[in-house]
Amino acid sequence: MEIQAPKGTKDILPQDAYKWQYVEGILREVSKAFGVREIRTPIFEHTELFLRGVGETTDIVQKEMYTFKDKGDRSITLKPEGTAPSVRAFIENRLFNEAQPTKLYYIIPCFRYENVQKGRLRQFHQYGIEMFGSKEPSMDAEVISLAMEALKRLGLKSLSLNINNLGCPKCRPKYNEALKSYLQENYDDLCDVCKTRFEKNPMRILDCKEKSCNKITKNAPIILDYICDECNDHFTEVKKYLDALNIKYKIDPGIVRGLDYYTKTIFEILNEDFTVCGGGRYDKLIEEIGGPEMPAVGFGMGLERLIMTLEQEGIEIPNEGYIDLYIGSRGDKAKMEAFILAKKLRELGIKTEINHMGRSVKAEMKYANKIGALYTTILGDDELENNTLKLKRMSDGEQFEASLNNIESIKNVLK
């Protein structure tokens, strides 16, 4: 029986890989422009990290994590998101002792057992930013600015930014009581999962995907009516910084995000009606996982969804081409010389391919065209005797001569 990829996973084939390389390249460039450095964490972590970091009442922990026991009977989880592992690494490697802020980015695979749909897989890839050490509203605005810059540089134009403030541990209990009071009347109509959330974390009910719960929470109290002066002042300053950068935004009290660790600022960036980025501030997470009291803010961006959005918008992703020069050959001596010439050209950074299949010259040209070679040449007895190559530009058929003994002359034609 043919073995197929597990449900919810997808092969990225060579003809599509260039899209990923291009998008990842832009994201890395923008990260560097903001002084953000890359971090790479293990693909799996101790399950406790996500219980404490992501939150026991979230959909991720309750329904979606890939958790298993290893041979040492330890509970291990494939990482469902990138923030908690980055915080764990920040604490374990004592990066909090270095000059702050610490600015990190990652491009990682993540794993969630959820319903498979277009743009949503069980193994997906995430670009994330985490900035530790600053409680200043300017840092919130910088994180948002970085996300907007990355999306705009990729060519997305129909972007909208929605922001909200989730309060802090000082003001959220008051809101939770108001929310529980509102939900109490319809408690019996809540889904079973939300009934468990009612006492532990009623705000998580606002993020439920069940239609029955959505109907109940439609007119729920708004947290912005309950935030304390400190949170309100912080939110006001964030908006001032966004105004200074001419970043337009809409205040959306309905945003709560799907993770328990958020405090104060949260945001979502949409292209049309499709969310392509989400994040916010999480000032208590580092302390919750065992580190010092230290503020933080960041975001996550799903790459499958992002690439799908670029394609839907008709944004052409540049393809540099697979091969610069295809060298065909006639005869054993010419084949060996082509093999040696290809090595020299590759050392100069010229993408070169030769005949490994014993094809005829006609078949070689068909193959060169199929792989998108920009130039082709045929090496035979005459070329070896005269030390010359005729390079054919495939786009228009124009031919150029170069010296077989002068690699730079060949390189100059191919520029």
Single-letter amino acid, residue 9: T
CA distance to 174, 177, 197, 293, 321, per residue, from 299 (Å): 27, 29, 25, 20, 33
DSSP label of 63: I
- Can you say which residues are annotated as belonging to the binding site for L-histidine? 81-83, 112, 126, 130, 257, 261-262
Beta bridge partners of 326: 353, 376
Rounded to an integer, what distance in angstroms lies between the CA atom of residue 237 and that of residue 278?
Answer: 20
Strand partners, 270: 160, 275
Please name the residue that has the structure tokens 């057992």: 113
DSSP one-letter string for 328-371? EE-SHHHHHHHHHHHHHHHHTT--EEE--S---HHHHHHHHHHT
**Known binding-site residue numbers:** 81-83, 112, 126, 130, 257, 261-262
Burial label, 292 (beta-carbon count in 10 A; 0-12, 13-18, 19+): exposed
Q: Can you read off the two tokens belonging to residue 264?
A: 């104060």
Q: What is the CA radius of gyration of the chain?
A: 28
Q: What is the rounded distance in angstroms from the CA atom of residue 336 to the CA atom of residue 242?
A: 62
Q: How many CB atoms lie within 10 A of CB 118?
A: 8
Residues 149 and 129: their CA atoms lie apart, in Å, by: 13
Largest CA distance in the chain: 93
- 251 beta partners: 163
Helices (DSSP H) in 254-329: which residue ranges? 285-288, 303-312
Tokens of 240: 């001032």
Q: Which helix (H) or strand (E) holds 165?
A: strand 159-165
